Chains A and B, each alone.
Chain A
C-alpha cells in the first residue's frame, strides 16, 4: 500500500515538474516534429538529378535519342557538352559533374550491328550512392533495336572511376554491366519514395534519443540539484524511484510515437498497413528497453552534461549499426552482432514490417525477445549499480 502510494507520489511529482518545465515540454513535441520534417524531406536514397555532361562525337539522330532518353530518367541532369572524353574526365576530377556520357563517333554503326555497350558512362565512384544510381542509366534499353538484341545487351557501358587514390584516378578497369536478367518489382513502396521507408525508421531513431536522454536527465537532475540526497534518506525504495521516473517517460514516448505517425501520414503519406495496436505494443517494448538504458546512463553521469554525452555514446552506434543508415546485410558479421544487441535494430524491423508490409505482431514477434533480453540485462545492472548512498 505504502509502496504504491509512494510510487504514485513520485509519478505525480514528475508530471507536475514536467508541466512547469516549458523547455522540456516543448522539446517533447518539437524534437519529433522538426526532425521528422527535416529528415523526411532531406533523406532520399532514391538519387535523382545528378549533374552530367555529354561528349557526343556521333551527332546522329540515334545519339540525340539516347541523350533524350537518359535525360528522361531524371537520374541525371545534363548540364553541359564536352569536346571529348578527356574533358569529361577532367570535369569529373574537378567535381563539376558526377556522370559523363561518352558517345563515340561510330555509335550509330555499333547500334546497327547490335554490338553490346555501344556507349560509355564515366561515373564518380568516390560516392557509393552516386555509383548505384548510375546503374539505372546503364540498364537503359535502346530504342529501335531488335528485341533479341535488347534482351542481351545493355545500352551503355558503365565505367566507375575511383577517386580514392588521387594519383592514379582512372586505374579501375571498365566494369561491364551484365544483361539484366531480373525484372525488379518493389512490392511495398512501388514509387520508391524514401520518406515512406524513412518515417518508420525515424520513429525508432527519434525515440532512442529522447527516451535515453529524458530518463537519464530525470535522475541526474535530482542528483545535481541535491534533491536526491533528501530522497534517499527517506524510506523510498530504489524500484519505486526507478518506476516512478520511468512511467512518465513512457507516456512521453507514446505521445512522440503519435506525433511522428500523424505527421508521417499527413506530410509523407506513410501507409499504415498493419494494426496500430500492434505498432504501439512494439513501440512500448522499445520505449521500455531504451528507458533502462537511460537509467543505466544516470548511474554513471554526475551532471546533465555527462548524461548528454553518454546518450550520444549510445545513440551513434544505434543509428549507424541498426540498419537505419546502412543496409544491415552489408555490415561485417561482428558489426551485425552489435547491431543485433541494439533495440533500434529490432524496432526498425518491426515498425517497417507492421507499417509498410502490413505484418501482424505475431509475424514480427521474433524481434520482441532481443528487446526483452536487453531490458532484463540493463535493469539488473541498474539495480546493482544504483545504491541509496552517495559513495
Chain B
C-alpha cells in the first residue's frame, strides 16, 4: 500500500521523476444512446503539468473528466490514469486523485470545518494529520474566519476556494477541475490560478476544463475539444503561432459595413468587431492574408487600414471549429 506522499511546496522539484504520463487515453469514446458525447479522444498529459480542456458547453469536457475519474465507463477506447486502467482500477485511482466538480458538491447545511473534516476522514487521512492539514488549507485559502460558517451562506469565491481545499485535502497526485471558475469574479479567478500554480509547483498534475480563453492560455498544454472530438492540441503559444500570418486587423470608420462586406468575401473565415476595429481570420490556403482583406474592402468601395496581427488562442479556437463546420457542410452537400 502506497500512502499519499506529503506535498511540500517549496522543496519538491516542479517535475517529478516521470514514470510514464499522468494520463494517457486512446480512442476514448462515450456514447449516450446514439449520441457520442466523446468521440475517439486521444490524450496524453505529462506529469506535473497543468493541462487545459478548452471547449464550448457540450463539447464533452465533463464527460471526459468523469471517465478519467472512473465515474463513467468508456463505451470504447482505453485510458490510463497514473498508470492504472480507468475501466478496471477505478477504486485504486480514486485514492490518488482529487476531483472538483463543475457544480458545487459539498454540504451546504454543514459548516466549513465540518465539511473539510468529513472529507478528510472519508479520504482516510490519519487523525493526527487531519487537524494540521485542515488548518493549513483554511489558512492558505483565506477561510480561517469562515470556519464555523454554514457553507450555504458563503460567497461564490469562498465556495470555490473551499471546494479546492476539499479536492486537495488528501494531497492527490492528480487533480481534476471541471470549470472551476465559472461562478467567480475576475480578481478571484486570478488568485485561483495562482493557487493552481502553487499546487502544480508541488508536483501535482492538474487537468482543468474551461471555456475562458485567458485561462486556457495559462495552461502548460491544451486540448481543444469540439463536439466530443479533439480539434487541436499542444502548447497554447505554439497553437497560436501555427496560425502564422492568418490574422488581420482592419481599422475603419465604417466597421459594420466593412464586416458585412468581408463576411461575403472569399478566403475570409471569420470577422469579429472589437471596438472600432475588425479582427479577421483568413483561410488556411491564402498566401497573402493582408492582400485578400485589402482587395475585399476595395471591391466593396470601403476604406480602412489593414495590418497583420499576432494570433491568439481565440483565433485557434475559431479556426478549428469553423474548419469543422465547413467540412460538415461540404460533406452534406456532396
A interface residues with partner B (beta carbon < 8 Å): 2, 5-6, 8-10, 12-13, 16-17, 20-21, 225-227, 229-236, 388-391
Size of interface on B: residues with Cβ below 8 Å to A: 31
Interface string of B118-156 (1 = CB under 8 A from A): 110111100000000000000000000000001000000
Residues of B that sit less than 8 Å from A by CB: 66, 69-73, 90-91, 94-95, 97, 99, 101, 103-110, 114, 117-119, 121-124, 150, 166
Question: How far does the Cβ of B99 sit from chain A's closest Cβ, in whole Å?
Answer: 4
Docked complex Cα distance between A17 and B124 (Å): 22
CB proximity of B77 to chain A, nearest CB, Å: 15
**A residues in contact with B166, CB < 8 Å:** 230
Contacts of B108 in A (CB 8 A): 225
Let me know if B101 and A13 touch, CB within 8 A. Answer: no
Could you list 27 examples of A-B contacts with CB < 8 Å? Answer: A5-B124, A6-B121, A9-B121, A10-B122, A12-B118, A13-B114, A16-B114, A17-B109, A225-B108, A227-B107, A229-B103, A229-B105, A230-B99, A230-B101, A230-B119, A233-B69, A233-B94, A233-B99, A234-B119, A234-B123, A235-B91, A235-B124, A236-B122, A388-B91, A389-B73, A389-B90, A391-B73
Number of A-B contacts (CB under 8 A): 79
Distance A2 CA – B127 CA, assembled complex (angstroms): 10
Report which of B70, B72, B121, B122 forms a contact with A231, defined as CB distance below 8 A.
Answer: B122
CB pair B71 A232 closer than 8 Å = yes
A153–B224 alpha-carbon span in the complex (Å)? 97
Q: Is the CB of A13 within 8 A of B70?
A: no
Given A16-B110, A226-B101, A388-B90, decide whether A235 and B122 contact each other with a Cβ distance below 8 A. Answer: yes
> Known contacts A21-B109, A388-B90; can you find 20 more A-B pairs with CB under 8 A?
A5-B121, A6-B121, A9-B122, A10-B122, A13-B114, A17-B107, A226-B103, A226-B105, A229-B103, A230-B105, A230-B106, A231-B122, A233-B70, A234-B119, A234-B122, A235-B91, A388-B71, A389-B71, A389-B90, A391-B71
Instruction: Give A6 to B114 CA distance when docked, in angstroms.
Output: 14
Q: A16-B114, A388-B90, A391-B72 are in contact. Are A235 and B109 (CB under 8 A)?
A: no
Bound CA–CA A21/B101 (angstroms): 25
Bound-state CA distance A2–B121 (Å) is 8
Contact between chains at A234 and B94 (CB < 8 Å): yes
Interface of B is mostly: loop
Nearest-CB residue, chain A, relative to B107? A227
Closest 5 CB pairs of A and B: A230-B105, A9-B121, A226-B103, A226-B105, A233-B99
Complex Cα gap A232–B105 (Å): 11
- CB pair A390 B66 closer than 8 Å: yes
Least Cβ–Cβ distance between B305 and chain A, in angstroms: 51
Kindly state the separation between the CA atoms of A229 and B104 in the bound complex, as whole angstroms: 10
| B122 pairs with A226, CB closer than 8 A | no
Q: Does A229 contact B119, Cβ atoms closer than 8 Å?
A: no
Cβ contacts under 8 Å, A232 to chain B: 71
Chain B residues positioned under 8 Å from A231 (CB to CB)? 122
Residues of chain A within 8 A (CB-CB) of B99 are 230, 233
Smallest CB–CB gap between B29 and chain A, Å? 13
Q: How far is A15 from B188 in the complex, measured between Cα atoms in Å?
A: 34
Contacts of A10 in B (CB 8 A): 122
- Set of chain A residues within 8 Å of B101, measured between Cβ atoms: 226, 229-230
What is the bound-complex CA distance between A227 and B69, given in angstroms? 15
- Which one, B94, B109, B121, B123, contacts A20 given CB within 8 A? B109
